[in-house]
Structure 1
Amino acid sequence: MTPRTVPQMLALRAEQEPGGVAIVVEGEGTLTFGEWERRSHAVAHGLLDRGVRPGDRIGLLFGGRDWADFAVSYCAVQLAGAVAVPLSDRLAPAEVRHMLDHCEASAVLCGRDLEAPDGGRWTAAPAELEGGTAGPPGVPVGPQDLAQILYTSGTTGLPKGVGATHANLTFGCETRPKRRRFGHSRHLLHAFPIGTNAGQTMLMNALDARPAMLTPARFTPARFTRLIESYEVGTVFVVPAMAIELLNAGLHERHDLSSVVLLGSAASALPPAVSVRLAAAFPNATVTNYYTSTEAAPAQTIMIFDPARPDALGRPAFGGALRITGPDGGTLPPGEAGEVWMRSPAVSRSYYRDEQASAESFRGGWVRMGDMGYLDAEGYLHLVDRESDVVKSGAFKVSTLQVEAALYEHPQVAEAAVVGVPHPVLGTVLAAAVVPRSAGMSETGLRAFLMERLAGHELPDRVLVVDALPRNQSGKVIKRELRGLFGAAVTGQTEGT
């Protein structure tokens, strides 16, 4: 397939379906492909009139209700030959400032009621740039040009900027109307934040998939289930935190969710017990795990939940590849755990202006995932843990994912996360933070429950009952903040011994 730019994908879709609905934002309105292209052209001319030149980095700071304006601005920046830097309104001002300063953004386009941190760069709303010259701006843009810088979630340190070319972003995008993805659906529902890899995937789906992209202005379980029922949504995408919140709210017992035939989970692995509950809550849906990273996309594995392989994350899709390596970099045989590497079928991404970090994570088309895992005899990937989260306790290495999976099997556990905390003898021991479904959960009973499922060295030494887990904008638990909770906790009523 001939590589294309993102604006070329939009032009093709606008030609094929000018009146087709691309994006629906609950309570805010719709965006057709024809409107998307026309407005993108107008904003691109406005950018050029403001002095934007090829290669300039332009920040895009938008919230959930601004998806249509974000989509227009994203393509407009690229039509002007510049590089889009998507940012979320859920980020703290200091985080936004760091990202804009790091990529040396020359301007920021903002959503409604949003302001970019002061940094000597001009800001504008998309509407301020419309109304000028019509038609495409005519700036030469090629598939190998840098199209986007997307910042990682920063769960283990400062966020890194990941650069992607147009060819990387449009790899696998379908141009033939009858072959478009998710043909079983009229609407594809998600609530991913702008500025995340999952959110960017949904933007590309809006360009090339058959259903219209539907999203609430802000995620709540009630809004989400109401949209599924009212639009009879066929395809739904969530992150595990959203799935858990949906299930714990019990709204599937009061709403008709039978229209959903594909329920995809991204960003991190679904605990097996949560997958089982999702399958029951969405009776007609195929529950599917998608595994990738901001660095590795579009490489990914896809796995339909299989009770016979509850923790498997699938095999490579779309021509990608997967390998497990040992400390010497050699490939390990099936069953042996090591570092997970994926190879992208498209032009590889890289860290923007960080050659040292790029050399450590991107090698010959292969991308280091930062996870420990193994392949079974049939080539299915099983994660052990994040490399940074594996706990070395005494003589044992313990997977926090395995302990969390056991905790989620307890009927009174709504959410759970496990980290390692210092110990004077063993060096590190396991500590679990648990959000209970209701008051009065017995920690003694919880420990007895875990003893039937875990080895002695896998049992949490400390258990802390909390109201909520610290999460980032992607719904991932921020484990460095979680460790801080244990450091600040006072041994007593809220903690086990």
Structure 2
Amino acid sequence: MKKPPKNLGLLFDWHAGQSRTTKLILDRPFDIAPAAGTDYDAAALAGLVREASAWLYAAGARKGDRIAVVKRNHFDMILLAAAAARIGATAATVSGANYPEHLAEMLRRLDPSVTLIGSEVLERAERAGADLTPYGRTVLIDGPAADPGAGLLTIDDLRGSATPDLDLRADTDLMMITHTSGTTNTPKLVAHTADSCRAGTRLELLPMPIAVNGPKDVALSSISFAHSRAYAWAMAQLRWAPQALVIASSHEADDVERVLDRARPTTIEATPNVFQCWVPLVRRRPELFARVRYYMNTFDLMHPSIARPFVEASRRRFVLWGHSWGQSEVGPMAGFGYTRGQIKRRAAAGGNMNMMGNPWPGLVSVKAADPETGAPVKRGEVGVLFAKGDSICVDYVGESDRYAEKWKGSWWNTGDVGYKDALGRIHFVDRAVDAIPGGSATELESELLDRIANAVEVIVLTRGDRKPVPVVSLDGPDLGEEEWAEVTRGLPPLEAPVFIPWHRLPRTSTWKVRRKELRETVFAESPDDTVLEERFT
């Protein structure tokens, strides 16, 4: 089987023409095709992309234009991006889970000719006092809304439009725009070309044992489909064509349980905090995960105490956990496969999964360096991690100055803090903005998650030279003073914990905790003069 085309606009037609294809199983119908059901073969997917390109063209989008796609999470965001690419336009896939004021700012930066938006997103923005309709021609994705969408064009108005001719842009031109998680402020709009996307997907197009899905695999994905990871995932899965691709657009455990009852996966990819949300499910119904041979997490650091119940639920003789380090701007930079035994031993010892493996040879180079000079630090010495490679994004839309500031010569400042060991493997310590003096917040979080039996989330907030403050979410009653003293015995000094329920933690579209916003809540009634390292965000 040949490699797929670089341009997303060709991908689904290409896949439909292959001798072996996959099928999609959805947890709910696409928002752009609510009556079409939850099962798609390759021909139906390709047909929906062509049909969507007709809607965009009829709405006024033309070659070279930018199109905003703002909606709730689902794989149809990728289909709309492919439809835009078919007519030479560039879609910016934006999660509707972002705050309304952030959405307004992102649309202002993007300056789209057409904005496709979900009615739920518009209504939420209206309640918050934000108007998202002045940015190009606004098209409602899922039918007429209440007051916010009165009189707006809808996709239903555009159905049946003539399919425009294929009109692709060059591989060196802009092909897709996604956004960062936005844990500190408004997410950045990350611009990629077909060339930079392919450079970031080359790894997954290689026939890597275990990590690549075979013809008998059933692959489940529960990620943010607005994120650049979704583009790479789609490209790779249509290349390898497993038996089925299962789309869990909702991360909630009850919704995932229903789709797992229908299709038992052999491989699962989700974000660390999504796996964290599923822990009660895997403990209650381990049989749902019995066939899984390979887990994969992206977007954030994984804790071994969270991974352990999933690998234990698998009935496979050998199960592997793929831990990947990357970011929207660069794509994958390093990765490591943890076995069931390694995860169980690390969890039992209160260890972590901060060792991310070696940088991918031939794809990207990584160094730990002084953030001011860019000079490499010694092996084992902590520095800011810089990357070099062809997969790095070509701009931040509307923030080119910010993009330029991230470069130190030919090296890109990732904003992550870590070090290289004697074997050249990357050890992640913290995001620069979250680092605590003389230690690692992520290591403390792993340790506390393992020690507290009913913990579902632990966030350690730095406070300058003062003791860090742990924020703890529990599946049960709060810990008393004696219990807290016992679980923190032998750890670096910490302030008294702040207990906050899971669903009250502020989160991004990729379910990362918005730590800066959390700080404002936790320290609302006490002075917080902590200076956060935000130069590299």
The TM tier, using the shorter chain, reads 0.7 to 0.9
The answer to which of 282-291 and 196-205 deviates more is 196-205
CA distances 1:206-245 after superposition (whole Å, capped 9, x unpaired): 5434233312342222332443353121110111111112
Within 2, Cα distance between the matches of 1:291 and 1:194? 18
Q: How far does residue 3 in structure 1 lie from its aligned partner after superposition?
A: 6.9
In structure 2, the partner of 1:48 is 57
Seen in structure 2, the aligned counterparts of structure 1 residues 371 and 363 have a Cα distance that, compared at 3 Å, is same
Conservation of the 8 A alpha-carbon contact between 1:22 and 1:206: no
Q: How far does residue 406 in structure 1 lie from its aligned partner after superposition?
A: 1.6
Within 2, Cα distance between the matches of 1:470 and 1:382? 27
The answer to which of 478-487 and 304-313 deviates more is 304-313
In structure 1, the partner of 2:366 is 322
- Asked if residue 139 in structure 1 is aligned to residue 167 in structure 2, the reply is yes
Q: What RMSD, in angstroms, separates the aligned Cα atoms of the two structures?
A: 3.0
Aligned pair partner of 1:485 in 496, 521, 531: 521
The answer to which of 476-485 and 442-451 deviates more is 442-451
- Asked if residue 82 in structure 1 is aligned to residue 110 in structure 2, the reply is no
- Asked if residue 118 in structure 1 is aligned to residue 150 in structure 2, the reply is no
Within 2, Cα distance between the matches of 1:325 and 1:221? 41
Match runs of 1:277-296 below 5 Å:
277-284=309-316, 285-296=319-330
Conservation of the 8 A alpha-carbon contact between 2:60 and 2:113: no
Q: How far does residue 71 in structure 1 lie from its aligned partner after superposition?
A: 3.3
Q: How far does residue 73 in structure 1 lie from its aligned partner after superposition?
A: 1.6
Within 2, Cα distance between the matches of 1:178 and 1:382? 23
Q: How far does residue 250 in structure 1 lie from its aligned partner after superposition?
A: 4.7
Q: Secondary structure at the match of 1:398?
A: coil
Match runs of 1:143-222 below 5 Å:
143-171=171-199, 172=201, 181-183=212-214, 185-211=216-242, 212-222=244-254
Within 2, Cα distance between the matches of 1:76 and 1:196? 17
Within 1, Cα distance between the matches of 2:205 and 2:478? 56
Conservation of the 8 A alpha-carbon contact between 2:10 and 2:82: no
How many residue pairs get aligned? The number is 474
Conservation of the 8 A alpha-carbon contact between 2:9 and 2:168: no
In structure 1, the partner of 2:477 is 439
Q: How far does residue 278 in structure 1 lie from its aligned partner after superposition?
A: 3.2
- Asked if residue 92 in structure 1 is aligned to residue 99 in structure 2, the reply is yes
Aligned pair partner of 1:404 in 445, 450, 466: 445
Conservation of the 8 A alpha-carbon contact between 1:227 and 1:233: no
Q: Secondary structure at the match of 1:16?
A: coil
The answer to which of 310-319 and 341-350 deviates more is 341-350
Conservation of the 8 A alpha-carbon contact between 1:420 and 1:429: yes
Letter in 1 for 2:223: F
Q: How far does residue 314 in structure 1 lie from its aligned partner after superposition?
A: 1.5
CA distances 1:127-161 after superposition (whole Å, capped 9, x unpaired): 54342334x61324221110111121221222211
The two structures have a TM-score, normalised by structure 2, of 0.80
The answer to which of 83-92 and 29-38 deviates more is 29-38
Q: Secondary structure at the match of 1:444?
A: helix
Q: Secondary structure at the match of 1:290?
A: strand
Aligned pair partner of 2:488 in 444, 450, 459: 450
In structure 1, the partner of 2:109 is 102
Aligned pair partner of 1:303 in 318, 336, 348: 336
Within 2, Cα distance between the matches of 1:137 and 1:252? 52
Within 1, Cα distance between the matches of 2:4 and 2:409? 22
Letter in 2 for 1:103: L
The answer to which of 205-214 and 233-242 deviates more is 205-214
- Asked if residue 312 in structure 1 is aligned to residue 355 in structure 2, the reply is yes
CA distances 1:324-367 after superposition (whole Å, capped 9, x unpaired): 11242111232111011122343643322423222222455532
Conservation of the 8 A alpha-carbon contact between 1:287 and 1:304: yes
In structure 2, the partner of 1:384 is 429
Letter in 2 for 1:287: W
Q: Secondary structure at the match of 1:8?
A: helix
- Asked if residue 375 in structure 1 is aligned to residue 420 in structure 2, the reply is yes
Aligned pair partner of 2:389 in 323, 344, 353: 344
In structure 2, the partner of 1:67 is 75
The answer to which of 405-414 and 99-108 deviates more is 405-414
Conservation of the 8 A alpha-carbon contact between 1:240 and 1:270: yes
Conservation of the 8 A alpha-carbon contact between 2:330 and 2:392: no
Within 2, Cα distance between the matches of 1:111 and 1:34? 26
Match runs of 1:219-234 below 5 Å:
219-234=251-266
Q: Secondary structure at the match of 2:62?
A: coil
Conservation of the 8 A alpha-carbon contact between 1:23 and 1:206: no
Identity of aligned residues (%): 20
Letter in 2 for 1:320: V
Aligned pair partner of 2:461 in 415, 419, 439: 419
Q: Flag structure 2 segments of 5+ consecutive residues without an equivalent.
A: 30-37, 123-130, 142-154, 347-351, 527-537
In structure 2, the partner of 1:31 is 40
Within 1, Cα distance between the matches of 2:89 and 2:63? 5
Q: Secondary structure at the match of 1:295?
A: coil
Letter in 2 for 1:40: V
Within 2, Cα distance between the matches of 1:63 and 1:440? 33
Seen in structure 2, the aligned counterparts of structure 1 residues 3 and 326 have a Cα distance that, compared at 3 Å, is farther
Letter in 2 for 1:443: E
Within 2, Cα distance between the matches of 1:46 and 1:119? 20
Within 1, Cα distance between the matches of 2:181 and 2:392? 22
Seen in structure 2, the aligned counterparts of structure 1 residues 214 and 113 have a Cα distance that, compared at 3 Å, is same
Q: Flag structure 1 segments of 5+ consecutive residues without an equivalent.
A: 491-497
The answer to which of 80-89 and 163-172 deviates more is 163-172
Q: Secondary structure at the match of 1:154?
A: coil
Letter in 2 for 1:314: G
In structure 2, the partner of 1:267 is 299
In structure 2, the partner of 1:495 is none
Q: Secondary structure at the match of 2:497?
A: strand
Q: Secondary structure at the match of 2:519?
A: helix
CA distances 1:399-429 after superposition (whole Å, capped 9, x unpaired): 211221221121242211010236xxx4x33
